[in-house]
A and B are shown apart, each in its own frame.
Chain A
């Protein structure tokens, strides 16, 4: 039988990031200020990198010269000679391990706090945040003795302590994500025939992926950039990039090496950040020009 439902094509559809959406357009002085602020922020982030990059390839650069007097690979050669490659390997391994352990733990803690009746939930929340309040120096000095007595290998000790320091970030990010997550959508999936595992893989995980990526990135940064715990608990056996940079910076005449290592240390987090940014976009929840135009009759 014939049935006419309102097709509703007259409703204009646009997303905040689409051209023409009135919510995000600024006009007049606001627009000028917005652009100027963006440029100032870009400058703020990029300016410190300019001398860093110049120094990295300067074999000789003495005052009062504005630019290096001699360009070359001396800094790179020195960095390699001091063990830059193993140090990068250690840092990467530390970052990935901390991320791999702290992210699932954060997920479990957040899920428990969001969905289950946790005894003394406020106290648990404070405990999860406590590492942020406790200086790493204090924790490392205090626990180092314990770890030594328990014969915990230095590398395992470092990973263990850094994981504790990453937990506030991962649990917080996931807590916020679970707070916004709608369990009714999961129930709907169950009734449509999905088993609990299928609900997890096909509904929960894709919906929480952006938050998971953010949490994992923050945990990686904790492992990647740590100095104090690696030095104190690692006892000098684990040389990571921050340790190498600090060591080189403490000496004289190593400006090129320090600059090169510091600049290079920015790359892995930057690559990950871009990855997180891409993952942060919901898989096909976002409209594309093709999906919008391709189906309009």
Chain B
């Protein structure tokens, strides 16, 4: 029976730091699912993982596994295993004995533990590596051994602390596939710490977004992108377009015009910032139907292009595939589906992080247009 993991009101401070590393975190991860703890460095994600594992004692709050409070349970008895950014293999044991470690400390006879370990070695596609010293492994191999070692402990909860961030993109993609495969065969509850949005989206069903020790939002991957609850969430999820305006009768009024909002919009009538993912904007020819805009700049993003747009004074970004010839100054029409729109509270009420200017980018012309809407 695979248990779920809950964190209730968890706070943690370290001596010498002014702000808490974790500030009243509440999070529930359902049994057998994978949640990515996403956020910038220093957001408290790793500390949360360590608190869940028992390596760190929370100042306040509880960690529950399968409904049971873990406060009095030692780390080795929590039924968890962790894989970190460094493989942290035992240098004095060979590959097979590393994987058999969990078995042997539980009193499984060495021979049986090794046979079991060999099966896990096979699972991570490293058959025949058992007798190698761990110093003879490449980074990717060592990380796979670390995963096999963690799985051999039969953890009900698998904690992954940026386990793939040191690997090259190709190997990382292979490891994501491996993780998906392992989840199908072993099915533990997984918590994955990462600062990579695309990794979180590729591996997990849900994302819990952290910033400055607070959990901002915990939602499905799709909703994290399409329905951010605050401006801060939107920015941390990489959202670039913020259009201030007014919400009235299910419509958003702004320099973009009057746009119908999706049915699940919860923003009350009044001022609200319209959020549009740059990937969701379709850029078409001027003669087509849509919001009129002018291209102000182009930037290459590998397989895609980022286009800066001036939409009636509001500055917007759109990501489009290569193909259409576009140049600064071109007049284009934007098409934005209703389902990709989201509205959040205006910046003065939203909690934003300090590095970013609170005011959405808008030109003088746009500001005048906006003023006319508000009146």
A191 and B161 CA atoms in complex are apart in Å by: 13
Q: Tell me which residues across on chain B come within 8 A of A3, comparing CB atoms.
A: 125, 174, 177-178, 181
A190 and B90 within 8 A (CB):
no
Q: Chain B 117-151, CB within 8 Å of chain A: the 1/0 string?
A: 00000000100111111111010110010000110
The answer to the question of A83 belonging to the interface, with a C-beta cut-off of 8 Å to chain B, is no
In the assembled complex, the CB of A181 is this many whole angstroms from the nearest CB of chain B, namely 11
User: Looking at chain B, what size class is its interface with the partner chain?
Assistant: 35 or more
Using A3-B181, A203-B90 as known contacts, say yes or no to A296 and B135 having CB atoms under 8 A apart. no
A65 and B150 CA atoms in complex are apart in Å by: 74
A39 and B1 CA atoms in complex are apart in Å by: 68
A206 and B92 CA atoms in complex are apart in Å by: 7
B128 and A295 within 8 A (CB):
yes
The answer to the question of A1 belonging to the interface, with a C-beta cut-off of 8 Å to chain B, is yes
Q: A6-B174, A284-B97 are in contact. List 20 more A-B contacts (CB 8 A).
A: A4-B174, A6-B170, A182-B88, A184-B84, A191-B55, A192-B153, A193-B102, A195-B76, A198-B105, A203-B90, A206-B92, A207-B92, A282-B91, A284-B94, A285-B91, A285-B93, A287-B133, A291-B131, A292-B132, A296-B128
A184 and B88 within 8 A (CB):
yes
A-B contact pairs, 18 of them (CB 8 A): A3-B125, A3-B177, A6-B140, A8-B140, A184-B88, A187-B55, A189-B105, A191-B53, A192-B102, A192-B105, A282-B91, A284-B97, A284-B133, A287-B136, A291-B131, A292-B132, A292-B136, A295-B130
**Nearest residue, chain B, Cβ from A202:** B105
From A190, A195, A294, B55 is in contact (CB under 8 Å) with: A190
B93 and A284 within 8 A (CB):
yes
Using A188-B88, A193-B102, A206-B92 as known contacts, say yes or no to A285 and B133 having CB atoms under 8 A apart. yes
**Nearest residue, chain B, Cβ from A15:** B135
Using A13-B136, A285-B134, A295-B131 as known contacts, say yes or no to A189 and B90 having CB atoms under 8 A apart. yes
Q: Tell me which residues across on chain A come within 8 A of B88, comparing CB atoms.
A: 182, 184-185, 188
Q: Tell me which residues across on chain A come within 8 A of B92, comparing CB atoms.
A: 203, 206-207, 282-285
In the assembled complex, the CB of B103 is this many whole angstroms from the nearest CB of chain A, namely 9
A187 and B75 CA atoms in complex are apart in Å by: 9
State the main secondary structure of chain A at its contact with B.
loop
The answer to the question of B86 belonging to the interface, with a C-beta cut-off of 8 Å to chain A, is yes
Q: Chain A 275-297, CB within 8 Å of chain B: the 1/0 string?
A: 00000001111110011101111
Q: Tell me which residues across on chain B come within 8 A of A297, comparing CB atoms.
A: 128
| Chain A CB within 10 A, most for which of B84, B91, B174 | B91
Q: Tell me which residues across on chain B come within 8 A of A265, comparing CB atoms.
A: none
B132 and A1 within 8 A (CB):
no
Using A6-B174, A206-B92 as known contacts, say yes or no to A192 and B133 having CB atoms under 8 A apart. no
The answer to the question of A231 belonging to the interface, with a C-beta cut-off of 8 Å to chain B, is no
Would you list which residues of chain B between 90 and 109 have a CB under 8 Å from chain A?
90-94, 97, 101-102, 104-106
Q: Tell me which residues across on chain B come within 8 A of A190, comparing CB atoms.
A: 55, 74-76
In the assembled complex, the CB of A63 is this many whole angstroms from the nearest CB of chain B, namely 57
A297 and B129 CA atoms in complex are apart in Å by: 10
**Nearest residue, chain A, Cβ from B144:** A5
The answer to the question of B80 belonging to the interface, with a C-beta cut-off of 8 Å to chain A, is yes
A242 and B125 CA atoms in complex are apart in Å by: 61
Interfacial residues, chain A to chain B (CB-CB below 8 A): 1, 3-8, 11, 13, 15, 182, 184-185, 187-195, 198, 202-203, 206-207, 282-287, 290-292, 294-297
Q: Tell me which residues across on chain A come within 8 A of B101, comparing CB atoms.
A: 189, 192, 194, 202
In the assembled complex, the CB of A5 is this many whole angstroms from the nearest CB of chain B, namely 5
Would you list which residues of chain B between 173 and 190 have a CB under 8 Å from chain A?
174, 177-178, 181
A28 and B51 CA atoms in complex are apart in Å by: 58
The answer to the question of B7 belonging to the interface, with a C-beta cut-off of 8 Å to chain A, is no
The answer to the question of B82 belonging to the interface, with a C-beta cut-off of 8 Å to chain A, is yes
Using A6-B170, A6-B171 as known contacts, say yes or no to A185 and B90 having CB atoms under 8 A apart. yes
B125 and A5 within 8 A (CB):
yes
A249 and B84 CA atoms in complex are apart in Å by: 63
The answer to the question of B81 belonging to the interface, with a C-beta cut-off of 8 Å to chain A, is yes
In the assembled complex, the CB of A9 is this many whole angstroms from the nearest CB of chain B, namely 10
A35 and B93 CA atoms in complex are apart in Å by: 35
Using A3-B178, A192-B150, A194-B76 as known contacts, say yes or no to A295 and B105 having CB atoms under 8 A apart. no
A5 and B127 CA atoms in complex are apart in Å by: 12
A297 and B132 CA atoms in complex are apart in Å by: 13
Q: Tell me which residues across on chain A come within 8 A of B97, comparing CB atoms.
A: 284
**Nearest residue, chain A, Cβ from B53:** A191
Q: Tell me which residues across on chain A come within 8 A of B90, comparing CB atoms.
A: 185, 189, 203, 207
Q: Tell me which residues across on chain A come within 8 A of B170, comparing CB atoms.
A: 6
A188 and B135 within 8 A (CB):
no
B128 and A192 within 8 A (CB):
no
In the assembled complex, the CB of A11 is this many whole angstroms from the nearest CB of chain B, namely 6
A111 and B150 CA atoms in complex are apart in Å by: 28
Q: Chain B 19-62, CB within 8 Å of chain A: the 1/0 string?
A: 00000000000000000000000000000000001010000000
In the assembled complex, the CB of A17 is this many whole angstroms from the nearest CB of chain B, namely 12
Q: Tell me which residues across on chain A come within 8 A of B136, comparing CB atoms.
A: 13, 287, 291-292
**Nearest residue, chain A, Cβ from B105:** A194
Using A185-B90, A207-B92 as known contacts, say yes or no to A294 and B131 having CB atoms under 8 A apart. yes
Q: Tell me which residues across on chain B come within 8 A of A11, comparing CB atoms.
A: 138
Q: Tell me which residues across on chain A come within 8 A of B91, comparing CB atoms.
A: 185, 207, 282, 285
A296 and B129 CA atoms in complex are apart in Å by: 8
A287 and B105 within 8 A (CB):
no
A197 and B93 CA atoms in complex are apart in Å by: 18
In the assembled complex, the CB of B250 is this many whole angstroms from the nearest CB of chain A, namely 46
A271 and B153 CA atoms in complex are apart in Å by: 42
